[in-house]
Amino acid sequence: MLSNTQVTQLGERLRANTAEQGDLARLDDFRQMHSRIDEQAYKIIQDALAIRNDLVITKRKRKTQQSIVDKLRRQKHLRLPQMQDIAGCRIVLQGGAQYAEKIDTILMGAFRQNGWQVESKRRHAYGYRAIHIVAKQDKKFYEVQLRTFAQDVWANLIERASDKQNTLKYGGTAQEQPLIIQLEKLAERFAEIDQQADTMLFIDYQKTIEDAIRHVLSH
């Protein structure tokens, strides 16, 4: 079992590209330390949302070694023990902003009832939007990405358009700026649609999203 100090030092070596022999194995040990938290949190979520059939819960694989290293290098002040998305899940709703707020409230209450520390964050960067619920127990974090249907469509567009460097997620290269501008405009339009989603049928919500994609990305 790695101590908090050992994990911090491991993260600093990985950030500085000065990894010692055995550091990748230690990183895997750290990832595996989230196994129990992963299972407990996922069950809390499943139990809290068991009666709902208008959403999809996808358990994410634990963050890969390379993703961890990349994040440490992007975020210079982040300590490895404080990385909040080693384990987590994604929830995609068949609805918009109001429904997302409702599910956020339900999950926050469920975690608190089970003795977890929990906070809710509105993520908004480079066009990406979602609610991130970060739950904590025994100094380990679990992150729920809660997306409206429109937000998930946008995120999937980014995934399909990205190259191996994944630069679109983090503001894009100079060459990608025209596409970034279009995608950010699309995200703004999706946010407007999400505010109206509870006033329309889901099939009409989907069609409005499709129309927005055709209109924004064709200009």
Determine contact, residues 162/168, Cβ cutoff 8 Å. Answer: yes
- 21-26's contacts with Cβ under 8 Å and 24+ in sequence apart are 24/65, 26/2
Determine contact, residues 130/146, Cβ cutoff 8 Å. Answer: yes
| pLDDT tens digits for range 66-88 | 999 999 999 999 999 999 999 99
pLDDT at 163: 67
pLDDT at 169: 78
pLDDT at 175: 83
Give the predicted TM-score (pTM) of the model: 0.91
Q: Which residues of the chain have pLDDT under 70?
A: 163-165
pLDDT at 218: 81
| pLDDT tens digits for range 7-43 | 999 999 999 999 999 999 999 999 999 999 999 999 9
